[in-house]
Amino acid sequence: MSSLIGILGGMGPLATVDFVTKIIHQTPASRDQDHLPLLVHSVPQIPDRTACLLENKESPLEALLKGLNTLIGGGAGCIAIPCNTAHYWYEPLARASSVPILHIAQACAAALAREKITSVGLLATDGTLKAGFYARELAEYGITLTLPQAELQRRVMEGIYLVKSGAVEQGAQVLDACMAGMLQQGVERVILGCTEIPFALDSIGSAHAHLGMDATKALAAACVQWHQQQQMAVAA
């Protein structure tokens, strides 16, 4: 199998670039050739995932399948999707794929379990909350999930869309306040379950960021691990 990793991105563009950066930073490399081979499909015209789930707007599945096939046709041996809400369509994508697709919530839950975390909050889009896959993956490890109350969730969505619109600092301030509100509910850690959130918090040097579990970073680590396993299999 090819060791090339395909990135089904563009949801949004900044989040995709942030994801690639996190893969690079977590790769043990002393020269260019030691880094992971990546094929990036960043097409922001994929229909809005949350609008589909909550407002019955156009489904992104056809566009996601098109991007998936482009990556597989380009030689990808594994796929990563740096968008949490898009994982609502993980099962049909996995059925259509001839190569494995890493799951962002699975990677995040496994990372939390390794740290022996037992209770977490979740900051994510309305669509991700409705999809429910974080609750399912966390339950596999016995981790309790607390969701934001309605007003806090409204502010989370406000912050996310500010970041998507390019108002990164303004959105980051809103999301930082949401992070503080979530921590006040007594959870050990807060999953940053939208790829715009860790990017935004890092941009302002958030004092709360160390208590967040960066789902983007967890998925990036899973990519590095997958590639290392492929290299060992080839060497054997």
- Per the residue annotation, which of 52, 78, 178, 194 is the catalytic one? 194
Instruction: Report the CATH number of the 105-215 domain.
Output: 3.40.50.1860
Q: What is the pLDDT of residue 37?
A: 97
Q: What is the pLDDT of residue 94?
A: 98
Q: Is 78 a catalytic residue?
A: no
- Per the residue annotation, which of 83, 108, 178, 223 is the catalytic one? 83
Exposure b/e, 82-115, CB count within 10 A at least 16 = b: bbbbbbbbbeebeeebebebbbbbbbbbbbbeee
- Please indicate, yes or no, whether the overall pTM of this predicted structure exceeds 0.95: no
Question: What residue ranges of the chain are covered by domains with CATH 3.40.50.1860?
Answer: 5-103+217-235, 105-215
Across the 236 residues of the chain, what is the mean pLDDT of every consecutive 10-residue run? Answer: 94 93 96 96 96 95 98 98 96 98 98 97 96 96 97 97 95 97 96 94 94 96 96 84
CA distance 165 to 14: 11
Q: Is 194 a catalytic residue?
A: yes
Q: What is the pLDDT of residue 52?
A: 95
Q: What is the token pair recorded at 50?
A: 């949350």
Q: What is the pLDDT of residue 28?
A: 94
Instruction: Report the CATH number of the 5-103+217-235 domain.
Output: 3.40.50.1860
